Amino acid sequence: MYLKKLLVFFIGLLFLFSGKNIVSQEMEFPEDKVHYIISAEQNGCEVTIKASIEIDDDWHINAANLPPESFSIPTDLYIDTSSNYILDDKISEPEFHHVYDEIAKEDLYLHSGQLTISRKLYVNTQGDFTVKGFFTFQTCDDNHCLPPYDGPFELAVKGCNFEEFEIPEISKENDIVIVEESPELTKSEEVDGFENEILDNSNEEKSEKKSLLVIFFLSFLSGFAALLTPCVFPMIPMTVSFFTKQSQNKTAGIRNAILYGISIIIIYVLLGTIITAIFGASFLNSLSTNVYFNLFFFLLLVVFAISFLGAFDINLPNTWVTKADSASNKGGFLGIFFMAFTLALVSFSCTGPIVGTLLVESATIGGIGPFIGMFGFSLALALPFALFAAFPGWLNSLPKSGGWLNTVKVFLGFLELALAFKFLSNADLVVQGHFLERELFIAIWVGIFFILALYLFGFIRLPNDSPIESLSVGRTILATSVLIFVFYIFPGLWGAPLNLISGFPPPMNYSESPNGLGLAKTGTGSHSTENTHNGPQGLPVFHDLNEGLAYAQKNNKPTFLDFTGHACVNCRKMEEKVWGEKGVLNILRDSVVIVSLYVDDKRPLPENEHAEVEIAPGKIINVTTIGDKWSAYQAKKYKALSQPYYRMLDKNGKDLSNGSADYINHGNKEDFISWLREGLKEFKT
């Protein structure tokens, strides 16, 4: 204990007597986090431009080959066009790490450690020449990101006898190509780079575990739903009675029923294991962003849904059922196993669509998702057989088979139909086609669930339904719940957030009108003007500092300065997790004027605004874009480069004394609202 206190004391002294380095400690530069060497390897007329990269511990950069819908800034080897060579558009890179951020609801594709990316060009002249370009990236750690970095380079290339060289087919799109790991860089070879925001392995593991738990829970519930279908429910008393009557004693009957349940689990888990083994974890990880698989899943679930609604049955070949049934006549565990296998085959018309849906959903999680999904499903399916065999008296409490079983099947069909459009939406987001925007998606769900409510109330009958003389209490409650859900999602057409189904509809900004159907683009705050834009949580924000300050002064409100980035994960976390809290949202909407400055805005500035800004001794930002302008402003004025970064200003544009706020120190409602109130209190005095 004393040693720990002594260590803290000496660390304090170290910071106390290193005041001259405070600026460099506060300001982090991307080139201090990511080191790279740009080189050219020439083999005749073929030249490979390489970036050998070494990233500091706990930092990462984005992949070069990102899906079209990704918000991240890709790592890139940009090469100027020239008549001296023909460029290959393909960028080769090692396999990246795929992370799904639950809070930001975004897929991240990341590199860390050492790696090499490369791009080819083919010489088209006999004279020597110079290749010019720049290496661009953004680097992050698990708390903040640094602005994008563009590092220029020039490389000498020799001419060649190009007339005798056959140029291979040129790639028109980037692919992930596995390349050898780059050799360790020596300090003499290092070239400085730049940094952005990343999640460490612990966050990735937590996200993966959480996703697997969700899959298990949903699969377990789906297993119970499968029990209530016409193909499975009647089998429970029949199977349990068979074991209790055929066994020599009660103990043997319970044992056989348990073995039967275990066999069911083995069969379905084996299916999940085979899916994982055939396709592999990396392939399954990529399914969620693959447009063709999302379209295939959409069509598959529509077929399953139509089957559940009664248009047709999906059955396996009768020969499979016959062979499995004959094998079940064998004694011992093998016979019991084939009895379970027969159940799986016979009930396929009911369980098949559910199993297929689960495999689709769990496959998009990747890794052992299909294994976990099938384990949860089969556990719920097998549990009743073991329990009813142990307690046969419980069979008397089971409801009788009847038309209600088909109602359950139809209910699941409507759910599958609604889920199918989630995969169609995924495909649309990938290609940015805008054919299934948020309003249309919600309208489709309103239609599906409204028809489901009418069905449950008895206004609609489907092919396999029995006549309904009166509604049961349970059916009435379920129908009312579905109708309430319809009323809940209906306002989503006018911009309601719909937090209960967050993640299913397209995001708010992927819509015909970001503010909601039929509404003018005015925002929801009290200071909506023509110069404001729709910001996080539907808040109106300024993107021009001078306009925001002028409006704040005119309306006697403090300015809330928000240094952010389109590709900033922790900015999205802060906006989703903290800004939306009731007390915080009220202040941001009614008491301040928000000015959001995007440091990664790539729109060019007019040439007369281009400049070189020294933000620290020896550190210069070449300001050519709007993002460069705000990044340089943040660094020059506040000695900070990370985002999110918040300040509050008085009506004259001077900083209030509550200091800065960020994700690390204010990533919860209590700390952030305390910081806001401190600034408001000072502003009013």
Of 247 and 17, the one with more pLDDT = 247
Residue 520 pLDDT > 80, yes or no?
Answer: no
Residue 294 pLDDT > 60, yes or no?
Answer: yes
- Per-residue pLDDT, 3: 42
Site of tokens 């369980």: 351
Residue of 392, 356, 404, 405 lying closest to 377 (CA atoms): 356
- Per-residue pLDDT, 613: 84
Is residue 539 very low, low, confident or very high in pLDDT (cuts 50, 70, 90)?
confident
Kind and range of the H or E run holding 636: helix 626-638
- Per-residue pLDDT, 442: 92
Q: Which tens digit of pLDDT belongs to each residue from 312-344?
A: 666 556 665 565 556 555 556 676 777 777 666
Of 443 and 237, the one with more pLDDT = 443
Chain centre distance of CA 552: 36
- Alpha-carbon distance of 345 to 326, in angstroms, equals 13
- Per-residue pLDDT, 574: 85
- Alpha-carbon distance of 268 to 248, in angstroms, equals 29
Is residue 591 very low, low, confident or very high in pLDDT (cuts 50, 70, 90)?
very high
- The mean predicted confidence, pLDDT, of the chain is 75
| Residue 517, C-beta contacts closer than 8 angstroms, at least 6 positions apart | 439, 493, 494, 495
- Per-residue pLDDT, 432: 59
Kind and range of the H or E run holding 3: helix 2-16
Q: Is there a contact between 633 and 597 (Cβ–Cβ < 8 Å)? A: yes
Is residue 149 very low, low, confident or very high in pLDDT (cuts 50, 70, 90)?
confident
Helix, coil or strand: residue 149: strand
Q: What is the mean pLDDT of residues 337-361?
A: 65
- Per-residue pLDDT, 357: 64
- Alpha-carbon distance of 629 to 605, in angstroms, equals 9
Q: What is the mean pLDDT of residues 491-503?
A: 77
Q: Cβ of 134: how many Cβ atoms within 10 Å?
A: 15
Angle between helices 348-365 and 201-227 in degrees, nearest 10: 170
* Token digits of residue 434: 């805008």
Helix, coil or strand: residue 124: coil
- Alpha-carbon distance of 179 to 115, in angstroms, equals 9
- Per-residue pLDDT, 73: 80
- Alpha-carbon distance of 435 to 507, in angstroms, equals 14
- CA angle at residue 392 from 386 to 398, to 5 degrees? 90
- Per-residue pLDDT, 295: 86
Q: Using omega within 30 degrees of 0 as the cis cutoff, is the peptide bond preceding 644 cis?
A: yes
Is residue 162 very low, low, confident or very high in pLDDT (cuts 50, 70, 90)?
confident
Instruction: Classify residue 181 by its DSSP letter.
Output: P
Residue 286 pLDDT > 90, yes or no?
Answer: no
* Token digits of residue 527: 């200071």
Residue 6 pLDDT > 60, yes or no?
Answer: no
Task: Supply the pTM of this predicted model.
Answer: 0.45
Is residue 293 very low, low, confident or very high in pLDDT (cuts 50, 70, 90)?
confident
Residue 34 pLDDT > 70, yes or no?
Answer: yes
Tell me the chain's radius of gyration from C-alpha atoms: 31
Site of tokens 């704040």: 552
- Alpha-carbon distance of 659 to 662, in angstroms, equals 10
Most confident of 8-22, 163-177, 297-311, 506-520: 297-311
- Per-residue pLDDT, 403: 63
Residue 544 pLDDT > 70, yes or no?
Answer: yes
Edge-to-edge strands, sheet with 661-662: 593-598, 559-564, 645-649, 661-662
Query: What b/e readout covers 250-275, taking b as 16+ CB neighbours within 10 angstroms?
Result: eeebbbbbbbbbbbbbebbbebbeeb
- Alpha-carbon distance of 193 to 402, in angstroms, equals 69
Share of the chain above pLDDT 90, in %: 16
Is residue 55 very low, low, confident or very high in pLDDT (cuts 50, 70, 90)?
very high
Helix, coil or strand: residue 208: helix
Residue of 467, 466, 424, 469 lying closest to 448 (CA atoms): 424
Q: What is the mean pLDDT of residues 545-561?
A: 92
Q: Which tens digit of pLDDT belongs to each residue from 65-123?
A: 877 666 678 898 888 888 888 888 788 898 888 877 765 567 788 999 999 999 998 88
Which CATH fold would you assign to the domain 25-199?
A: Immunoglobulin-like (2.60.40)
Give whole-number Cα distances, 15 to 11, 91, 143, 616, in Å.
6, 44, 22, 20
- Alpha-carbon distance of 324 to 337, in angstroms, equals 10
Residue of 96, 94, 89 lying closest to 67 (CA atoms): 96
- Per-residue pLDDT, 314: 61
Is residue 524 very low, low, confident or very high in pLDDT (cuts 50, 70, 90)?
very low
Q: Which tens digit of pLDDT belongs to each residue from 360-401?
A: 666 555 556 677 888 888 888 888 877 776 666 666 665 655
- Per-residue pLDDT, 450: 95
- Per-residue pLDDT, 254: 73
Residue 440 pLDDT > 80, yes or no?
Answer: yes
Q: Which tens digit of pLDDT belongs to each residue from 170-210?
A: 554 444 443 333 333 333 333 333 333 333 334 334 444 54
Residue 244 pLDDT > 50, yes or no?
Answer: yes
- Per-residue pLDDT, 649: 95
Helix, coil or strand: residue 182: coil
Most confident of 252-256, 314-318, 507-511, 570-574: 570-574
Q: Is there a contact between 101 and 207 (Cβ–Cβ < 8 Å)? A: yes
- Alpha-carbon distance of 71 to 668, in angstroms, equals 24
- Alpha-carbon distance of 238 to 335, in angstroms, equals 17
Read out DSSP for 563-589?
EE-TT-HHHHHHIIIIITSHHHHHHHH
- CA angle at residue 16 from 11 to 17, to 5 degrees? 105
Please state the domain extents for the chain. Answer: 25-199, 203-400, 533-599+643-684
Evaluated on CA atoms 608, 603, 66, 573, the torsion sign reads positive
Instruction: Classify residue 517 by its DSSP letter.
Output: T
Chain centre distance of CA 454: 34
- Per-residue pLDDT, 163: 74
* Token digits of residue 68: 């079209």
- Per-residue pLDDT, 61: 92
> Which residue type sits at 539?
L
Of 522 and 127, the one with more pLDDT = 127
Give whole-number Cα distances, 337 to 55, 327, 332, 439, in Å.
53, 9, 9, 49
Residue of 18, 38, 128, 22 lying closest to 78 (CA atoms): 38
Q: Is there a contact between 358 and 377 (Cβ–Cβ < 8 Å)? A: yes
Residue of 634, 638, 645, 566 lying closest to 602 (CA atoms): 566
Read out DSSP for 9-62?
HHHHHHHHT-GGGHHHHHS--GGGTEEEEEEEEEETTEEEEEEEEEE-TT-EEE
Domain made up of 533-599+643-684: CATH architecture: 3-Layer(aba) Sandwich (3.40)
Maximal C-alpha separation, the chain:
95
Site of tokens 């506060």: 26
Share of the chain above pLDDT 70, in %: 67
- Per-residue pLDDT, 48: 92
- Per-residue pLDDT, 199: 33
Helix, coil or strand: residue 620: strand
Residue 13 pLDDT > 60, yes or no?
Answer: no
